[in-house]
Amino acid sequence: MDGNSSSRNSSLSGAFKFNEKRIPASSPSGALYHFGTSGISVAVATGLTHPLDVLKVRLQMQLVGQRGPLIGMGPLFVQVMKNEGPKSLYLGLTPALTRSLLYGGLRLGLYEPSKYACDRAFGSNNILFKIASGAFSGAISTAVTNPVEVLKVRLQMNSDLRQRGPIAEMRRIVSKEGIGALWKGVGPASVRAAALTASQLATYDESKQILVNWTPLEEGFYLHLTSSTIAGLVSTLITAPIDMVKTRLMLQRESVVGSYKNGFHCAYQVLRTEGPRGLYKGGFAIFARLGPQTTITFILCEKLRKLAGLNAI
């Protein structure tokens, strides 16, 4: 009995030791796991919050170039359901999920290796290097996946495009507007992604450290939930105006009002014609989507990383 028990304990101990092994971010398998766990977690979060993203885009395109009363998210939801049906809340879902796997995988997946590189190069891993690592990974991932984002917002804004499908719409954009149209808004999109990733990941990372040091919370669900909620709030406040400018630039051809030369010109025109509130159009919808999306992404990503043998973020 004692021998069998000892043998079982030994095998269980060996199994736990195997699960506790951590894969370094710098190894090829580590990079693959970083990309995979990040992409899957962002895609799941995107799929669950996609209807809020559709409403956000519609809110941002209200009264372009005009001042006036804005319709809220609730009335807009009722209007969309009444006029276009429930399916319209999932317009652009295919490119959104495609982009999430690529963009999410790169955005979160590059953060840890970038932070590791900063630590090796400068011997430090403070908040500034975390911000720099997040900004770098966000900007690079957006530059690569911008065409899918353009396609997504075009489909979200126009329910008539649903029957045509994403591939046909991409062909139409290239034939009528040129291939450069697929990179419309890439400037503010990259700035937004850099700001979003830096604020999200650096805030999440730093919040975890502070909470572990100053509260009874330990690595686990409640720590991840609290830290991701803080990260969602901070990233929304920072990125809402940039997100609005990005959306306006990507939908220029679909808009009735004239053209914007670049992101700065768009922001200036919005301030001049629509007032400061114009920069935060759809702000509540952004938080209503980005808050839960951030929370779902980080909680799921931490779980997947643990299963894959990666260190916690």
CA–CA gap between residue 207 and residue 197 (Å, rounded): 15
In terms of Cβ atoms closer than 10 Å to its own Cβ (0-12, 13-18, 19+), residue 32 is middle
| Residue 23 burial (CB count, 10 A) | 18
Domain boundaries, the chain: 186-280
**Residue 18: its pLDDT value, please?**
35
**What does the pLDDT read at residue 298?**
92
- Main-chain phi, psi angles of 80, to 5 degrees: -65, -45
Task: Work out whether the CA dihedral 19, 21, 23, 29 comes out positive or negative.
Answer: negative
- How far, in whole angstroms, is CA 139 from its chain's centroid? 12
Q: What is the pLDDT of residue 241?
A: 86
- Give pLDDT, residue 105: 87
Nearest to 47 by CA among 237, 253, 296, 279: 296
The encoded tokens of residue 71 equal: 């319709």
CB 166, CB 147: distance < 8 Å: no
Q: CA angle, corner 96, sides to 299 and 172, nearest 5?
A: 170
CA distance 39 to 217: 27
| DSSP, residue by residue, 129-147 | HHHHHHHHHHHHHHHHHHH
Q: What are phi and psi of 273, to 5 degrees?
A: -95, -25
Q: What is the pLDDT of residues 145-184, one digit of tens each?
A: 888 888 888 887 776 655 567 788 888 888 988 888 888 8
Record the tokens describing residue 243, joined without a space.
Answer: 């997100």
Q: What is the pLDDT of residue 81?
A: 92
What does the pLDDT read at residue 23? Answer: 54
For the chain of 313 residues, list the mean pLDDT of each consecutive stretch of 10. 46 38 57 85 92 85 66 85 90 87 85 83 83 90 88 77 72 88 85 87 91 92 93 88 82 62 85 84 77 90 88 80
Tell me the pTM.
0.69
Supply 143's token pair.
């530059």
Angle between helices 111-122 and 127-157 (to 10 degrees): 160
Task: Determine the pLDDT at residue 70.
Answer: 67
Q: Record the tokens describing residue 43, joined without a space.
A: 């895609």
Q: Which residues of 104-134 are buried (b: 16+ CB within 10 A; e: fewer)?
A: bbbbbbbbbbbbbbbeeeeeeeeeebbbbbb
User: What's the Cα-to-Cα distance from 46 to each of 54, 77, 276, 278, 291, rounded to whole Å?
Assistant: 11, 18, 29, 25, 12
Please tell me the total number of residues recorded for the chain in this structure: 313
